[in-house]
Structure 1
């Protein structure tokens, strides 16, 4: 089985870390391909960033389809371009927020999301509502930590995340913590051991859920909303994204 993990930002060091975490979670025999798009923002911290990251993400989905990839994971907690990616892909596509929230609901009664910047908290709330997870989501918290500081060994990023996690456990009535950024994926196990509660990152959860879907022989339904996009001309910078008349 081949799973393509797409970090929608273009910071290669983060993609390398995400790929290592995904491979650590994968079963023997699962090939994990971790990539960043050839174009897009270096980090995703706004709706604007998400919009500009989506074309590069979709190009990676299209390349995966040509290469026979079985499933895809969108490794950004905003789950950008998720439905568009499902339209293009034959196999299943998951976003890490979707995967993490559902996994958290299986093992606890209430979860808190600990994310990076406060400006992204609204998106996490919107996703919890869209995925039917709002009743499980006790709170969304932010560390006021820019995404790229997670890649800086001189930053005190881990300490700030731990502090916010402790506040969540003390104040929110939660019994599970969800890490709200793919760049935090490498902290999951150590935080769980330190804090004494399940800590979920969507990269590991997403890979294992995709393995289950592929093992069950399940693919993205092409009836109705997630049917392959209709072929049509594109203009300007979008010309390379035009789908041919032979589209499925």
Structure 2
């Protein structure tokens, strides 16, 4: 199968990180295509950045479709443009927040999310409600680190994430942790071992969900909500 991983921001190092995680865990017959728009925000931190990223994201979806993608992963935890992308594509389009929350509920009866900045907390809380996950989500927490600090190694980002995970375990009575940013995709194994709790990354969850759906020969419904955009 051909899987497109699209990072809606313009930071190529984050795109490459997502690709490396996918290459490490993909099935042998899965081919990975990873891209990002050139003219979108360098990081997506809030509603305005989401909107600014959408035009470029849709263009990348179209490029991936021309490449022959069987499925698509939108590698941003805010799941921007998810429904619009499903209108454009025939194969499954998976948001990493949606994938992570659904798959984590199979592993544990509750979870907390550790994300980057406080401004992302209400966005993820709303997604939790939208996806019917509020009863599982104990708390959405912010480690108070800018997204780009995950790329340049500043702000002691990894240590702050670990500290917030340990606080979640102690205070939230949660049974698993979801990392609320695609830029954290390479940290799950190390943090799971250090914190002695399942730590889940949405990029990997979306990859495996995509492989399962394509393997089951399932595609996006084109009846009503996700039908192709009307030509105007």
Distance of 1:95 and 1:167 partners within structure 2: 27
Post-superposition shift, 1:154?
A: 4.0
Post-superposition shift, 1:155?
A: 3.4
Equivalent position SS for 1:77? coil
State how 1:44-83 maps to structure 2 within 5 Å: 44-83=44-83
2:53 pairs with 1:21: no
Partner residue in 1 for 2:122: 122
State how 1:179-218 maps to structure 2 within 5 Å: 179-218=179-218
TM-score, normalising length: structure 2: 0.99
Distance of 2:22 and 2:54 partners within structure 1: 21
- Number of residue pairs matched? 232
Distance of 1:25 and 1:194 partners within structure 2: 21
Greater Cα shift, 137-146 or 59-68: 59-68
Post-superposition shift, 1:86?
A: 0.2
Partner deviation per Cα, 1:10-59 (whole Å, 9 max, x = no partner): 00111111110111121111011111112210000010000010111100
Distance of 2:25 and 2:80 partners within structure 1: 23
Equivalent position SS for 2:149? helix
Partner residue in 1 for 2:3: 3
TM-score, normalising length: structure 1: 0.92
Post-superposition shift, 1:153?
A: 2.4
Q: Which has the larger radius of gyration?
A: 1
RMSD: 0.7
Q: In structure 1, list runs of 5 or more residues that go unmatched.
A: 233-248
